[in-house]
Amino acid sequence: MLRRDLRHMRRYPSLTLFVVGSPVVLLLLFVFVFGGTLGAGLGGMSGGRAAYVAYVVPGILLVTVAAAAQGTAISVAMDMTEGIVARFRTMDISRTSVLTGHVAGSVVQTTLAIIAVMAVALLIGFRPTTGPGSWVAAGGLLALATLAITWLCVALGLSTRSVETASNLPMLLILVLFLGSGFVPTQTMPDGLRWFAENQPFTPIIETLRGLLLGTPIGDSAAIAVAWCVAIAVLGYLWARKLYERDPAHR
């Protein structure tokens, strides 16, 4: 199933280009259009575009994960609507292997996208200040977040009746990403929005990535980030498995 998913990536390169291109364009937009102004407003940092590059990259990395997971939701919905799953149900294979293949393929695709985004970030001035051990830890957290978000998007893809709906539902995840600390400090937000931004799942992940890459204080964000990732991954897996195993007549 993983081989099948990788072949789809090779057969439809436009989807991979979208997964890589969208966060790269977003990174360039925020840095070169908004970075001068937003960077000047960062408290405790020597403002300007260079400061904003350092601040925004962790948030863009999570946008990359969410964009790749959106593609997975679309692929799952295509499988469910085109009838190939009915054939898989008649084969002597584990039912969850179909979904696991999608998730594993998405992890590979996301890893390639993250490498591309990091390469662009380094070219425009992003400079990590920590050591290799922290970089490895950041990679591990990104892998865990990818697993969690992808399983959730697999479930979203299975819950829909059309590919169009499957492509739209994961956009809510990207919206939640914008309502966090990925692009501006939560201290600048109104009280109600600030409370939401500080207590939603993505903010502790972003703050942990920022600390691991730039040496900023992490506090208890790492433990909270891992807990959120595990909870979302388990919920997404159980939900996806239940939806996949239900009677196709009730879809």
Contacts of 47 (CB under 8 A, 6+ apart): 39, 40, 41
Q: How many residues are there in the chain?
A: 251
Q: List the end-to-end C-alpha distance of the chain, in Å, as a whole number.
A: 23
Global pTM value: 0.86
What is the residue type of 72? T
Q: How many CB atoms lie within 10 A of CB 143?
A: 16
> Along the chain (251 residues), what's the average pLDDT of each consecutive run of 10 residues?
73 72 89 80 65 90 89 77 67 72 85 91 91 93 94 87 77 88 88 92 94 91 95 93 67 46
Question: What's the chain look like in SS3?
Answer: CHHHHHHHHHHCHHHHHHHHHHHHHHHHHHHHHHHHHHHHCCCCCCCCHHHHHHHHHHHHHHHHHHHHHHHHHHHHHHHHHHCHHHHHHCCCCCHHHHHHHHHHHHHHHHHHHHHHHHHHHHHCCCCCCCCHHHHHHHHHHHHHHHHHHHHHHHHHHHHCCCHHHHHHCCHHHHHHHHCCCCCCCHHHCCHHHHHHHHHCCHHHHHHHHHHHHHCCCCCCHHHHHHHHHHHHHHHHHHHHHHHHHCCHHHC
Task: Give the C-alpha separation, 210 to 205, whole Å.
Answer: 9
Q: How many domains does the chain have?
A: 1
Q: What is the domain range of residue 85?
A: 2-250
